[in-house]
């Protein structure tokens, strides 16, 4: 199922107040990433894509939601609360107790946590690679998780890694990937965004829609879907899980867990986070001690290194938030202060 939210943009370029409040409510409930697509009604422009959709579906208020179901049927909701009741809550990740992995049950996962939460993370990397024997890959989702490659190399076991390339990465990150390939003598597969979804977003909204809409839609297309696609061929994965507040907030701090967000072709996945209990001091002393290749941008003041337009260097006294999606607090505040109508 694909969910499109139709929002209204006023002639002055601002979104209508009701649309902003609805988006904020979906974000607060952790449901925003289930909205696949946003289309705008432009005030005074009855040829705007959103206005045409309103006409097609006989809707005269914004926001509203169009659901394209897998069986090709279409339904329309003008009430976000009904949408949540009928669909969004039902598509939330299943409770852990209902998830069944093809290769490890919840009791075994708890046992792994007991054994490895205070152990050397390399031991857990070794355990994961041995236990899943070629069906456990290392996911490089940012520039920080290269340390996991070093640990995998030290086990002496065969391992595979892939890199989620959003298409907006820093050139320093690509240079690091080349260094890693040379240093460890491995291939690192690049996983790219789905071309159709990306082109559709770019044609409609341009390259930098996240500056107006927030990062959710762009991240979903450029980072989350490629990661989910790459994981389909795995039974388990190893990652640092520090890229992005939403991902970080939704992940438990355990070193092993049943993955509630992704599924492999053979069932639920096991997610290993060997560095879950390491702070940045420990990570950096490992990097220095073992001379792990790392991103040149750290020396320039970056604390998180994801996509080029969404990360920036910050001073040591600034919070992480200032270095990633820093414009969104202002955007939320402005949206909350707007007082406008909601008729199309």
88 neighbors 236 (Cβ within 8 angstroms)? no
Is the Cβ of residue 184 or residue 302 nearer to ligand SF4 in the bound state?
302
Relative to beta strand 37-42, strand 188-191 is unpaired
User: Does residue 310 interact with ligand SF4 by CB under 6 A?
Assistant: yes
Q: Mark the segment that binds ligand SF4 (CB under 6 A) among 34-42, 76-84, 277-285, 306-314.
A: 306-314
Q: Report the distance separating Cα 217 and Cα 211, nearest Å.
A: 11
Is the Cβ of residue 224 or residue 235 nearer to ligand SF4 in the bound state?
224
Binds ligand SF4 (CB under 6 A): choice among 5, 38, 177, 218: 218
Instruction: Tell me phi and psi for residue 99, to 5 degrees.
Output: -90, 135
Is the Cβ of residue 100 or residue 199 nearer to ligand SF4 in the bound state?
199
Q: Report the distance separating Cα 116 and Cα 273, nearest Å.
A: 10
Q: Report the distance separating Cα 8 and Cα 25, nearest Å.
A: 16
Q: Report the distance separating Cα 288 and Cα 150, nearest Å.
A: 12
In the complex, what is the shortest distance from the CB of residue 194 to ligand SF4, in angstroms, rounded to a whole number?
13
Is the Cβ of residue 277 or residue 308 nearer to ligand SF4 in the bound state?
308
Is the Cβ of residue 193 or residue 293 nearer to ligand SF4 in the bound state?
193
In the complex, what is the shortest distance from the CB of residue 166 to ligand SF4, in angstroms, rounded to a whole number?
5
User: Which of positions 129-188 make contact with ligand SF4 (CB under 6 A)?
Assistant: 166, 168
Q: Mark the segment that binds ligand SF4 (CB under 6 A) among 11-19, 85-93, 139-147, 301-309.
A: 301-309
In the complex, what is the shortest distance from the CB of residue 163 to ligand SF4, in angstroms, rounded to a whole number?
14
Q: Mark the segment that binds ligand SF4 (CB under 6 A) among 20-28, 97-105, 180-188, 217-225.
A: 217-225
State the number of binding residues for ligand SF4 (CB under 6 A): 12
Binds ligand SF4 (CB under 6 A): choice among 219, 269, 276, 297: 219
Give just the sign of the alpha carbon dihedral 221, 65, 80, 87.
negative
233 neighbors 265 (Cβ within 8 angstroms)? yes
CA distances from 132 to 78, 125, 141, 233, 335 (A): 46, 11, 21, 12, 48
Binds ligand SF4 (CB under 6 A): choice among 102, 261, 309, 312: 309
Give one DSSP letter per residue of 44-109, joined into a string: TBTTSHHHHHHHHHT--BSSEEEEE-TTS-EEEES-HHHHIIIIIGGGSPPPGGG--BSS--HHHH
In the complex, what is the shortest distance from the CB of residue 123 to ligand SF4, in angstroms, rounded to a whole number?
33
Residues near ligand SF4 (CB under 6 A): 166, 168, 210, 215, 218-219, 222-223, 306-307, 309-310
């Amino acid at each position: 199922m694909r969910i499109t939210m139709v929002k209204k943009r006023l002639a002055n370029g601002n979104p209508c107040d009701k649309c902003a409040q609805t988006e904020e409510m979906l974000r607060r409930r952790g449901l925003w990433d289930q909205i696949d697509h946003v289309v705008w009604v432009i005030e005074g422009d009855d040829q705007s894509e959103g206005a045409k959709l309103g006409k097609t579906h006989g809707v005269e208020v914004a926001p509203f939601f169009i659901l394209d179901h897998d069986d090709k049927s279409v339904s329309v909701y003008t009430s976000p609360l009904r949408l949540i009741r009928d669909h969004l809550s039902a598509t939330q990740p299943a409770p852990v107790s209902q998830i069944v992995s093809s290769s490890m049950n919840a009791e075994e996962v708890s046992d792994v946590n007991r054994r490895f939460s205070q152990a050397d993370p390399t031991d857990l990397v070794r355990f994961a690679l041995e236990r899943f024997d070629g069906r456990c890959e290392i996911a490089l989702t940012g520039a920080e998780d290269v340390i996991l490659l070093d640990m995998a190399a030290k086990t002496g076991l065969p391992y595979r890694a892939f890199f989620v390339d959003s298409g907006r990465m820093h050139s320093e990150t690509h240079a690091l990937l080349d260094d890693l390939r040379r240093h460890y003598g491995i291939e690192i597969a690049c996983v790219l965004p789905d071309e159709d979804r990306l082109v559709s977003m770019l044609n409609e909204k341009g390259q930098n829609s996240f500056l107006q809409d927030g990062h959710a839609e762009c991240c979903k297309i450029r980072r989350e879907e490629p990661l989910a696609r790459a994981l389909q061929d795995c039974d388990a994965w190893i990652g640092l899980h520090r890229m992005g507040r939403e991902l970080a907030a939704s992940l438990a701090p355990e070193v092993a867990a049943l993955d509630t967000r992704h599924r492999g072709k053979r069932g639920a996945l096991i997610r290993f986070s060997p560095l879950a209990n390491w702070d940045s001091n420990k990570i950096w002393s490992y990097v220095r001690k073992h001379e792990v290749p790392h991103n040149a941008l750290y020396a320039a003041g970056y604390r998180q290194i994801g996509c080029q337009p969404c990360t920036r260097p910050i001073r040591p006294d600034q919070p992480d938030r200032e270095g990633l999606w820093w414009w969104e607090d202002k955007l939320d505040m402005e949206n909350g202060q707007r007082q406008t109508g909601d008729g199309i």
